[in-house]
Every structure is written in structure tokens, then in C-alpha cells.
A and B are shown apart, each in its own frame.
Chain A
Amino acid sequence: MTQSGIDKKSERTMEAGNLVSSLSSVAKSHVGNKSPGSRAQGIGLEARGIHAWFGDRMVIEDMSLDFWSGTVTALIGPSGCGKSTFIRTLNRMHEFIPGAAMAGQVLLNGQDVYAPGTDVTKIRLKIGMVFQKPNPFPSMTISENVLAGLKLAQIKVDNKDDLLEECLERAGLWTEVKDRLGAYGGSLSGGQQQRLCIARSLAVRPEVLLMDEPCSSLDPGSTLKIEETISHLSATMTIIIVTHNMQQAARVSDYTAFFLSEGGPGRMIEVGPTGEIFSRPKDKRTENYVTGRFG
């Protein structure tokens, strides 16, 4: 009885070990192709001591993170650890929720986005967002959806057709929709809708793109396409992606941050190059999570 218990335990440890090595090999090969150090073009976005509350309940405590331009940072962690709340503080979407409060600074090119007198709509133009569920505007066609940001923010563009094609091309959707740009956004499949939403957020030329579990409602094929899109986009912008899927984090990101809530508010446990987080995590809790022992 004791013997078999030990056997089981060691077996699980071995399995976990295998998973660590497989994840880290995915991560390493990825990072090996384009090492974060060489592509990083300075800090695009800095979070300094972010705290967040809903009512009296603190949900995020003291998170500080640098996001380098030209890199993809994945935020991983179990449900309820504050990943989504954290990225929503970055583009000031957090304040939409009644009872929300925050403390700390978010510096975009050195300027605090929460500084008094900041035009919040300008901030959101520079920090775009893709949501968990594809949410194309139902009353608009595909091309109107892509260009909706320009209309919403009242930006004039000389050549809309070029911009339309460019955004759809960058989102990896152009060849699929170029013959039916006048169709409604809702007529696309879920994965296409999500890429349409990515194209829509690209049209206002953001410097940073926040993605809140962009693939969680999509099938594996669409997920793959979105991941390819992320890889292409990361050459020119800062991407921050929340994901529940550790393989995805390993595949697409240069850096990974692990968040965890141990009963109380969510904290950042560890951040580092993705390869290291998955192969040599410094914190025991990170190791437990990335090896699938909990969460």
C-alpha cells in the first residue's frame, strides 16, 4: 500500500518532469529563433506598484512589470489571480467597472496614463485591446468594423482602402475576406471574427496591444492562426497576452509573468524570459503551476 503510493507519486513527478522539459523545449526553440534581448527596443510600457480593488476587496497587490517594445509578454496564472484586471488597468478599462479603484502608475513612454489631465481616449488609442470573446460590431460590415476606430476617435485618414487592406493583412484575414468586405462582421466564423477584432484594433496604430485570452473561445485551427498573427505583429509593437494555455504562452511569448492569488489579492510571483520560466523557474509555486500540479 505504502509502496504503491510512493510509486504513484514518483510516476507523477516523472510525468511533471517530462512536461517541464517539453514546455521548455517549445519555449527554448521559440526564443532561440528570436532572442528577446536582440529584438527589445526599449521599455514600451511600465507598470509600477499596481494595486486594484473592487469595492473594499483588493484583487491585485503591488505588481510591477516592464514590457519591452517588440516583445510578447504572456501573463499566466490560475483563474482569479488578477490577470485580466491587471491588463485592464494598463489601458484604463478597469475604471469602467462600478466600485473599481486602483493605485500605482502605468508609464507609457515615460508618461503616467493616470496623470491628471490625461486624455483617456488618446491612451486607449495607443494601447489597443482584444477581448476574450470576439466582439465585432454587429451593425457594421467587415470593412466598417476595421475602420470603426477611426470613426469613433474621429481620425482622418487619406487612403482608407490601403489601411483596410494593411490591417486585415497584418491580422492574417485579408485573403479570406477580400471578396466580401461588405458582408456583416457577424457572418464570419469565431476565429475570423477574432482576427477581425485584431485588425480593428490595429487600424488606429496602437503601440501596445493587450490581448485578454484571445483564443479561449476558439478552436485549435483558429488559435494557431491567431498565434501566427501575434508573432508577425510582435516585430513592431508591444504585445501583452493573458492566457490560460501554457503551451500557448510557451509558443508565442518572449517573457512570461506568473500571477497567483493565495486566498488574498493576486500577486506577481515571478517574471522572466519564457524559456527560463518553463525550464528553470526560481519559485517553487511557479514550477508547480507550469508543471500542471495545480491550477
Chain B
Amino acid sequence: MTTTSEIRPQKPWQASLSQRSISALVLVGAVALSYLIVAVTPMKGKLAYVALFFVIFTLFDFLFHFATRGLSAAKDAVARAIVVLGISAAVLPIISILGTVFVRGYKGLHIGLFTHDMKLNSVSDPISQGGLLHALIGTAILVLVALIISVPLGILTAVYMTEVRGRFMKPIKFLVQAMSGVPSIVAGLFILSAIVYPITKSYSGFVGSLALSILMIPTIARTSEEVLLLIPNDLREAGTALGGTQWRTVAMVVVPAARSGLVTAMILGVARIAGETAPIVLLTGGGDSVNGNPFKGPMGSLPFYIWKSYSVGTPESITRAWAGIMVLLGIILVLFISARFLSDRRSGQ
């Protein structure tokens, strides 16, 4: 391979070193100038830096591109700057939330957190005592019971909207969309007045799960509907052309083909309700000890633990609350990532 005209892969469309250094110069210049302006004028604060930097950088970038490549390239550069600003405005708060939760929450972490409940401790005790086992188990049970109620109902609703397409399809579709915006406190109050006061007359995990189901069913129904709509009509026709009734075609061909998408719908439903606080505070009674029975006795949960710890207001209790938030956020993140992973795998097939 020692020919004189050896051809090597190149990327002629990439910016050259000098172009890149000019871009870097524009960036550095914008930073320096905004720093300078903040220093000499009465403007103060982080926001002033950010706003000035954005304006100056956009201006510099515009001028640089205008000088080197003309007006249309310069306009393109401005549009790109605005898009980057939009993304930053959307992403920075999320990163900030995650960062704050980690910085404040990790101080409350210790081994006992996952092995002890708060039966013998108050939230103002030193951090190393007690834990949130009862809240973890409570949330797990609440979510599980809500799943058992919501998954069949949600998927059947989606099947009605995509497969049966009956006369009430449009009103039901509208209702499901409207229901997915129901404030969680309304769901909690509804269960309180419709179930707790007239029937059970006591708080329990189960009534909390009922309220969570009201919030979860629309989420599962809508996501499942979208997933089922993605299944090509060919498969339904193939199933019926083989002599299957509609029900058997749906159950044996359409739903199995959408399996991973339906699991994603389920996970998104769980992520929707795992952090719900209002109905939990209203309905579950919020115990401090581990309670494995959803039908009897007060049941703790992570949102309740956070709410209760935070409202006490001592330094220890607030640290406990942040640790609880960190655990809850971690669970929800894991759920979203696994939903994402599953749906990626589906589209990759």
C-alpha cells in the first residue's frame, strides 16, 4: 500500500482550524465584553450576564458571518443562536433541579434509610436514625394496586378507540384527553367524597390507589392508543383474512405486536403517579411504620414522607425531605429511561 497517490478519507465540509479559532474568539470576546459591561454599568446578577452574553454573542456571530459569508449565512447564524437559547432555557432548569436535589439530598443518604422506618423516630432526630423503608414500600404498594386497576382499563379503552372504533369513540377520546389534565387534588377529593366518607369511612392505601388510577388511566389509554395506531393495518387484515374474529385478532395479533409499546405506556403511567402528593395526603393517612396491607391502616409513601418532613422545618427534617426527593426522582428517572429504552428497541426492530 505504498502508492504515491494514497487517498485518505477527508471531510472538506468541516470548518478549518482558522475558522474554528475565529469562532472561539467570538465566544471569548462576547464573554469578556458582557463581563465588562456588567462591571461598568449598574446591571447586576447572573441573569444580566446571561442576557448580555446572548445579545453580544448573537451580534458578533452575525457580523462575523456577514463579513465572511454574506447576509443569508448571517441570518442563519442568528436563527441558530435563537434555537440554542431556546434549548438552554428549557434544559437549564431541569439540570438545575437535578443538581439541587443531588447536592441537598445526598447528605441525607445512609444505609439505614432503606432498612428502617420512622416508627421509633421523629423527623427531627439525627439523620442517621430512622429511614424511609415504610415510604418506599407504601409507594410500591400504591403504585402496584393502581397498576392492577389501570392497566386493563387503560388498554381496553385504547382498544375501543383504535380497534372497535364504536359509536362513542369520539366522545371517549375527548373525555380521555380531558381527563389526562384533571388536577390530582380533584381526583383525591372525588374518592374522598364518593368512597371514603360514604363507604370505607377510613383511610387506607387502597383508596389512595383508586385516586391514582383516575390519574393513571388516561395516561395509559392515550399512550396505548398511540402505540396501537402504529400497528399497520395489514396485520389486522391478515388476522381477519385468516378467519379470526375481531376479538381474537386484537388479542393474538395486534396487542402482542404492540407489546413493548404497551409496557412503555405502563411505565409512563407509573411515572405519572409515583410522585403524586395531593390525593395521597388526602386519602392514605400517611403512617410512619411499614404497612403491607393496602386495605387496612394508614400507609406511608414517598410524597407523603417528603411533605411531612419538609413541613416540620427543622434542619434534619428538611435534609430528610431532600433525601426523599432524591430517592423519588431516582425512581422516576429509572422508569423514564427504561421506557425510553424499550421504545427505542421497538423502533429499532
Question: Which residues of A approach B to under 8 Å, CB–CB?
Answer: 91, 93, 96, 121-122, 124-125, 128-129, 131, 133, 135, 137-140, 148-149, 151-154, 186, 197, 200-201, 204
Contact = CB atoms under 8 A, between A and B. Distances in A.
Given A135-B234, A148-B252, A186-B349, A128 B241 contact: yes
B256 A139 contact: yes
A124 B245 CA distance: 10
Contact of A133 (B234, B245, B256): B234
Contacts of B244: 121, 149, 152-153
Contact of A201 (B232, B237, B241, B252): B241
Contact of B241 (A93, A139, A154): A93
Interface of B: 232, 234-235, 237-245, 248-249, 252-253, 256-257, 259, 349
In this complex, the member of B232, B242, B245, B248 whose beta carbon has the largest number of chain A beta carbons within 10 angstroms is B242
Nearest to B248: A152
22 contacts: A91-B241, A93-B240, A121-B244, A122-B243, A124-B242, A124-B243, A125-B242, A125-B243, A128-B242, A129-B237, A129-B241, A131-B238, A133-B234, A135-B234, A137-B239, A138-B257, A148-B253, A152-B239, A152-B252, A153-B243, A200-B242, A201-B242
Contacts, number: 75
A121 B241 contact: no
B237 A149 contact: no
A216 to B, nearest CB: 14
Nearest to B231: A138
Contacts of A154: 248
A29 B349 CA distance: 45
Closest CB pairs A-B (n = 3): A152-B244, A139-B256, A125-B243
A124 B241 contact: yes
A15 to B, nearest CB: 39
Label chain B's interface by main secondary structure: helix
Contacts of A186: 349
Given A148-B252, A152-B248, A154-B248, A137 B237 contact: no
A121 B257 contact: no
A164 B326 CA distance: 55
Contacts of A93: 237, 240-241
A168 B59 CA distance: 69
A149 B252 CA distance: 10
A131 B234 CA distance: 8
A149 B243 contact: yes
Nearest to A126: B243
A124 B235 CA distance: 15
Which of A139, A149, A153, A200 has the most chain B CB atoms closer than 10 A to its own CB?
A139
A137 B232 CA distance: 11
B140 to A, nearest CB: 30
Given A148-B252, A152-B252, A186-B349, A137 B240 contact: no
A152 B232 CA distance: 18
Nearest to B245: A121
A121 B242 CA distance: 8
Given A93-B237, A133-B234, A137-B235, A149 B242 contact: yes
Given A151-B252, A152-B249, A121 B237 contact: no
Contacts of B235: 135, 137-138
B300 to A, nearest CB: 40
Nearest to A184: B349
